């Protein structure tokens, strides 16, 4: 086997390992801010129990999937700890609409919706409007792109200013 063939084989093997790791549905990455907090420190349970986003308190935290999740109360923390997949935002807390396009953009916790008992976050009002235009289709497209979108070379973690909302 030539050295070029071995090199190509090694590169393909490494790519397969990377893709295989990302494709594990039970452990996709979670979007975190500079402090390591999921959903910018907002309480994931509050969307369901209070019907609105609510900042969490560092006194009520829980580590899950490499992120620190903050909650407004011990009861919310305990509910999340018991069933994190029930409360965590879909697509790792990244912008759900961007995932439909194969992109990974940070979401704003104030721009959200709950569909079929699942929390979806979006980048801003523009993305939210496009998301709401075809929720079932957008969910299907996002599911087909997740978590593969994470290897997109155009991946961005920071959300653009509101005027640049997609």
CB count in 10 Å sphere of residue 62: 18
Q: Is 41 helix (H, G, I), strand (E, B) or coil?
A: helix
Span 3-47, pLDDT tens digits? 544 434 443 343 343 444 444 444 468 999 999 999 999 999 999
d(CA 89, CA 146): 13
Exposed (0-12), middle (13-18) or buried (19+): which is 85, by Cβ within 10 Å?
A: exposed
pLDDT at 75 over 60: yes
Q: What radius of gyration, in Å, describes the C-alpha atoms of the chain? A: 17
Q: What pTM was estimated for this model as a whole? A: 0.79
Boundaries of every domain in the chain: 32-88, 89-166
- Residue 165: which pLDDT band, with cuts at 50, 70 and 90? low
């Amino acid at each position: 086997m030539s050295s070029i063939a071995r090199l190509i084989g090694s590169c393909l093997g490494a790519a397969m390992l990377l893709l295989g790791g990302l494709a594990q549905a039970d452990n996709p990455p979670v979007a975190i801010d500079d402090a390591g907090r999921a959903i910018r420190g907002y309480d994931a349970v509050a969307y369901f129990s209070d019907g609105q986003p609510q900042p969490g308190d560092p006194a009520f935290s829980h580590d899950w999937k490499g992120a620190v999740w903050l909650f407004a109360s011990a009861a919310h923390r305990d509910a999340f700890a018991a069933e994190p997949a029930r409360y965590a935002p879909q697509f790792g807390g990244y912008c759900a609409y961007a995932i439909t396009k194969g992109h990974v953009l940070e979401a704003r916790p104030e721009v959200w919706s709950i569909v079929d008992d699942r929390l979806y976050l979006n980048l801003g009002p523009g993305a939210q409007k496009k998301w709401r235009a075809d929720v079932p289709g957008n969910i299907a497209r996002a599911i087909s792109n997740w978590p593969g979108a994470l290897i997109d070379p155009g991946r961005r973690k920071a959300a653009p200013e509101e005027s640049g909302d997609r």
